Structure 1
Amino acid sequence: MTRQNKFGSRELAELVSPAVRAAGLFLEQARIVRSGRYLTARITVDLESGPGGPDSRQLEELTRAISAILDDADPFADAYSLEVTTPGAARVLTEPRHYTRAVGRSVRFSLRGGESFTGRILQANDGGVLVRPEEKVKKSNKTIFFDPRVITFQEIEKARVEVELRKSDKSEAEAEG
């Protein structure tokens, strides 16, 4: 007789969320992913607010805590891997709090009307974002900054944080001056 998994993704989230909160983190997602005969419990966490993200010590301690919880609950019929991770540097923004955490970051926007552009988020609230669109000139490696504009969340089809290897303080100063 084959043992069935006791949990789906929702039950997994309910099981691990107290440990995530106790670690001072926010549970972005809990998923059970199957690849062939392999099973992975993937827990994605982030800071609730503010800049930066969880440090490696927080992730390590949380992984140990969740592993102990899963060992006690024994939710899976088969062997599984546990993966505790963050959304990553180039995360997709889907909730107002994601935009608040991305203030100051460069984001690639795709709007419902078909317009796409990259801009730096200057402010975010429950209704939308204030963005300063910018365009990189490839030949000169300079950035052209445009007037800030307000975008409501209803206008945004997709938004993804751009990975920046270094910020240009000179470009920022020129844009403000």
Structure 2
Amino acid sequence: MDATGRIEQIISPSVEAMGYEVVRVQISGGQRSVLQIMAERADGAAMTVEDCADISRSVSALLDVEDPIREAYTLEVSSPGIDRPLTRLKDFERFAGFEAKLDTRLASSDGRKRFRGTLKGVEDGLVCIETEQGAARLEFDNILRAKLVLTDDLIRASQEAQG
């Protein structure tokens, strides 16, 4: 298991018990590593600065005990934002009908590794997306990176969800 997987394993139970879900754990380099924890409220409400601070305090305590990162690092806790990354299979279902960009590890049967189009959900464990080139069904494990595209429809849906 890589470092981010180990960290997610350490922090997820505590974060979930607090009423949040871990969206992504990422470590970026430089002279001082940055550990980014992206989380969202399990109830679907908007994340606040206080939510991020609460998660940060809890995660800091857990990581101090477990010490999965040997060198000095900066902890950054954030919400996914409106044009969020899609990191879990359920994200592709939840955001069906919205535009997304996906990059795959391996090329599809037509030679493409990049897809942009409207998410159509998940069928038989495959992520479905309708692109200008036609429909594509992609293995979730083959998706390297995916995120929503900021569109008027996404902004409107986000505003409606926030009341």
Query: What TM-score do the two structures reach when normalised by structure 2?
Result: 0.60
How is 1:2-151 mapped onto 2 (pairs within 5 angstroms)?
A: 8-36=3-31, 38-46=32-40, 55-56=47-48, 57-71=50-64, 73=65, 75=67, 79-93=72-86, 95-108=88-101, 112=108, 113-114=110-111, 118-129=116-127, 131=129, 133=131, 151=136
Q: Structure 1, residues 106-129: CA drift from partner, whole Å, max 9, x if none? A: 123567214666433344344335
> In structure 1, how many angstroms separate the alpha carbons of the residues matched to 2:111 and 2:25?
32
Alignment check: 8 A CA contact 1:127 1:152 kept: no
Distance 1:53 1:93 in 2: 18
- Distance 1:83-1:152 versus aligned 2 partners, 3 A rule: same
The amino acid that maps onto 2:18 is A
Alpha-carbon offset, residue 18 of structure 1: 1.8
- What is the DSSP-based 3-state SS (H/G/I as helix, E as strand, rest coil) of the residue aligned with 1:35? coil
Q: Sequence identity, in percent?
A: 23
Give the whole-Å Cα distance in 1 for the aligned partners of 2:148 and 2:13. Answer: 28
What are the Cα deviations for residues 17-75 of structure 1, in whole angstroms up to 9, with x where unaligned?
22211123332443444412x13232233466x9x67512432321222123334x172
**Matched AA of 1:167:** D
The change in CA–CA distance for 1:19 and 1:124 in structure 2 (over 3 A counts) is same
Q: Give me the whole-angstrom Cα distance separating, in 1, the residues matched to 2:46 and 2:54.
A: 11
- Stretches of structure 2 that go unaligned for 5 or more consecutive residues are 155-163
* 2:52 partner amino acid: L
Render the CA deviation track for 1:119-153: whole Å, top value 9, x for unaligned. Answer: 3334434433555557xxxxxxxxxxxxxx75322
- Identify the match of residue 160 of structure 1 among 147, 160, 163: 147
SS of residue paired to 1:69: helix
Tell me which amino acid in the other structure corresponds to 1:69: L
SS of the equivalent of 2:13 reads helix
Alpha-carbon distance between aligned partners in 2 of 1:107 and 1:25, rounded to the nearest angstrom? 24
1:42–1:84 contact (8 Å) kept in structure 2: yes
Q: In 2, distance between residues paired with 1:59 and 1:126?
A: 35
Q: Secondary structure at the match of 2:153?
A: coil
Give the superposition deviation at 1:82. 1.0
Larger-Rg structure: 1
State the Cα RMSD in Å: 3.8
